[in-house]
Chain A
């Protein structure tokens, strides 16, 4: 799941895959702006078939945060 996330983030922010690490956050990636953030959110919703609440969207400000929210949502929706 984390691999998929890294790919999605790399595509959304138009950076190479190895620039996405566990320490990645909004401040460290210049192209992680509001618009590309939404690109990532939409791609995640499509990929994992989930929907993010608005509060979740603004809270996902780092790689770790996103992983955390994803884990939670995938558990409850029972998708592999």
Chain B
């Protein structure tokens, strides 16, 4: 099995590191004559044929449409046909290699050691991206079942790391709620008198008290500073100004967007302000000024058909107002006010809610 000629990828263009193989004109094992064009390659400047320097049997070491490094062997010509076993395997350039673990997780060395120590199976981490010792440990720290139980039930459970957004959301809500000292008061608001007008004026916020609530809140909050404040380490911080925030969920997590002044504005004006804020958020034109400094949040689940809920108070605030869906038959809906008992109390919260109800009902 005499090797007659071996052709390497020529280094013609000074600045090329790779060339692309366009087409192999023969199959490995074909008989070729001297002068036959064997393979078409493409450099950064032009395409070029490589020719057989002698007759013989050609064996390719490249593939069509693949890149091959300059200086690498691209084909060989043998005196006699070669059995497949003795032909060196086709060389595929490393950089183009498909990942060897094709979708399986990558384990750090320490993680692998720990897994072995703990007698765990790598399969537990199927679907993960990078598995380090912390990941192995936190897997182990699930309360309840022992390691062996875990092994058995492993097939029925799929763990997914929470997204950074969710992580922040948890942080955001954990702050006040972890004191276990929050409570919620709710009240029914008669909407008969204002609903028709609301729906006529706003098509997008129909059957919701959101816009009118936003217009009534600022002046009311001035009268109840403890609902425009927050608890911190034994003190209450009262905000000098009111800045309403609207809780929205665009599918990528909870966000609270700060609204400009909505006090005593008309429904239409409030609608314009809300849309402007949403537009700037979705058009990615928000700056940190637009999200920071919310003093009181409003959350509206009327669209979801929720008729009652107890909203969670965000970090840095002492209260939050939840708007539920309007009961069309009875022409009323529930407003819920959750409040931080370390800052205020049920009586104040109820008073606030009552006044809000009256202002909405137009009395």
Q: Point out residues on A near B: beta carbons under 8 Å.
A: 25-27, 33-35, 37-39, 41-42, 45, 54-55, 57-58, 61
Chain B residue at minimal CB-CB distance from A65: B203
B248 at the interface (CB under 8 A from A): yes
Instruction: Name the segment of B141-149, B235-243, B270-278 touching the other chain.
Output: B270-278
Chain B residues with CB under 8 A of A26: 203-204, 206
B51 at the interface (CB under 8 A from A): no
Contact of A34 among B268, B278, B283 (CB under 8 A): B278
- Distance A25 CA – B204 CA, assembled complex (angstroms): 11
* Interface of A (DSSP majority class): helix
Chain A residue at minimal CB-CB distance from B278: A38
Contact of A57 among B205, B206, B272 (CB under 8 A): B272
> Are the C-beta atoms of B275 and A57 separated by less than 8 Å?
yes
10 tightest A-B CB contacts, nearest first = A61-B203, A26-B203, A54-B272, A34-B204, A38-B278, A38-B279, A58-B271, A38-B282, A57-B275, A42-B283
Shortest distance in angstroms between A4's beta carbon and chain B's nearest beta carbon?
19
B80 at the interface (CB under 8 A from A): no
**A/B interface sample: 18 pairs, CB < 8 A:** A26-B203, A33-B204, A34-B278, A35-B278, A37-B204, A38-B275, A38-B278, A38-B282, A45-B283, A54-B275, A57-B272, A57-B275, A57-B279, A58-B203, A58-B268, A58-B272, A61-B203, A61-B204
Chain B residues with CB under 8 A of A37: 204, 275
Chain B contact patch, size range = 10 to 19
- Distance A58 CA – B276 CA, assembled complex (angstroms): 10
- Distance A1 CA – B205 CA, assembled complex (angstroms): 28
- Distance A17 CA – B104 CA, assembled complex (angstroms): 39
Chain B residues with CB under 8 A of A45: 283
Chain B residues with CB under 8 A of A58: 202-204, 268, 271-272, 275
> Are the C-beta atoms of B276 and A35 separated by less than 8 Å?
no
- Distance A58 CA – B201 CA, assembled complex (angstroms): 10
Chain B residues with CB under 8 A of A39: 282
- Distance A42 CA – B281 CA, assembled complex (angstroms): 11
Chain A residues with CB under 8 A of B282: 35, 38-39, 42
Between A26, A33, A45, A54, the greatest number of chain B beta carbons within 10 A of the residue's beta carbon is seen for: A54
- Distance A57 CA – B279 CA, assembled complex (angstroms): 10
Chain A residues with CB under 8 A of B275: 34, 37-38, 54, 57-58
Chain A residues with CB under 8 A of B206: 26-27
Chain B residues with CB under 8 A of A38: 275, 278-279, 282
Chain B residue at minimal CB-CB distance from A45: B283
> Which B193-229 residues have a C-beta within 8 angstroms of A?
202-206
Between B203, B272, B278, B283, the greatest number of chain A beta carbons within 10 A of the residue's beta carbon is seen for: B203
- Distance A42 CA – B274 CA, assembled complex (angstroms): 15
- Distance A45 CA – B285 CA, assembled complex (angstroms): 14
Shortest distance in angstroms between A56's beta carbon and chain B's nearest beta carbon?
10
- Distance A11 CA – B206 CA, assembled complex (angstroms): 23
B232 at the interface (CB under 8 A from A): no
- Distance A38 CA – B274 CA, assembled complex (angstroms): 11
- Distance A42 CA – B282 CA, assembled complex (angstroms): 8
- Distance A10 CA – B203 CA, assembled complex (angstroms): 19
Chain B residues with CB under 8 A of A41: 279
Contact of B203 among A27, A35, A42, A54 (CB under 8 A): A27
> Are the C-beta atoms of A35 and B250 separated by less than 8 Å?
yes
B167 at the interface (CB under 8 A from A): no
- Distance A25 CA – B268 CA, assembled complex (angstroms): 18
Between A33, A35, A41, A58, the greatest number of chain B beta carbons within 10 A of the residue's beta carbon is seen for: A58
Chain B residue at minimal CB-CB distance from A25: B203
Shortest distance in angstroms between A8's beta carbon and chain B's nearest beta carbon?
14
B265 at the interface (CB under 8 A from A): no
B355 at the interface (CB under 8 A from A): no
